[in-house]
Amino acid sequence: MVFVTVLVVVTSVVLAVAVAGVLSRRAGLVLAGWLVVTTAVAASGLYADDPWLGVGVAVPLVAGLFALRLPWATTGLTRDRAVALLAAVQTTRLVGAAFLVLLAADRLPPGFALPAGLGDVLVGLLAPFVAYALWRRPSRRALGVAFNALGLLDLVVAIPLGLLHAPGRLQLIFTEPSAELMALLPMALVPTFIVPVAIVLHVASFRLLAVSAPPPRASRPVPAPSGSWSRPRRRWPSARRP
């Protein structure tokens, strides 16, 4: 469907540009290169063969988590309000509307498309409001933790649901239609590009939130009331031995 193709492709490009702006230009260039590679692999039909779709998910995810340790890939995380910028990038999760469109067209199973689509759309709708709140008051650490936990939970649930509905060794839920569409263009860009990047950004947010956590308060002795007084102890003379 044209709408789904445009939505997924535009979201992927916007996500690469946003990463270049929030993290670093080099990270954005590497991500753009992977977008070209995974698009070519999906066009060849290789992801439809087990276990290449899993490889396409694991490679960018592992590489992205490792890149969070590299200074050249995370220069933007040192700026003020980086957590708010990372939250704003999650607006791209509105791509989950593609799942709902394909569900309505009977192209994806409801057991997978409904939770994945609704979860992504919910995170995408909340993202600009959370980003604005964190930009105004970066001290709202609890809000950042809750939002990133919700976004990460949505992805952690959607990935196994997709595997359980897709043809392959891990398929345990057999429906008609199946989730085989996720191995074909344009939807293959979601698990092999958009989802790994979203997970890495959530992890980056958690790291920043952990660093910005306030130190524990040291306990202070309770001072005595100003009006209190203590009666001096009277010392009795000790008895002398003969």
Listed residue (146, 106, 99) closest to 123, CA to CA: 146
Q: Where do the structural domains in the chain lie, given as residue ranges?
A: 2-211
Question: Could you tell me if 165 and 179 are in contact, meaning their C-beta atoms sit under 8 angstroms apart?
Answer: yes
**CA-to-CA distance for 116 and 107, rounded, in angstroms?**
14
Listed residue (210, 212, 195) closest to 64, CA to CA: 195
What is the structure's pLDDT at 226?
53
What is the structure's pLDDT at 242?
46
Question: Could you tell me if 56 and 38 are in contact, meaning their C-beta atoms sit under 8 angstroms apart?
Answer: yes
What is the structure's pLDDT at 228?
47
Report which secondary-structure segment, H or E, holds 211. helix 195-211
Q: What is the pLDDT along the chain (242 residues), one digit of tens a residue?
A: 899 999 999 999 999 999 999 999 999 999 999 999 999 999 999 999 888 999 999 999 999 999 999 988 888 888 888 999 999 999 999 999 999 999 999 999 999 999 999 999 999 999 999 999 999 998 899 999 999 999 999 999 999 999 899 888 887 888 889 999 999 999 999 999 999 999 999 999 999 998 866 555 555 555 655 554 455 555 555 545 44
Q: Which tokens go with 232?
A: 């001096």
Report which secondary-structure segment, H or E, holds 144. helix 141-165
What is the structure's pLDDT at 221?
56
Residue 60: cis peptide before it, omega within 30 degrees of 0: no
What is the structure's pLDDT at 229?
46
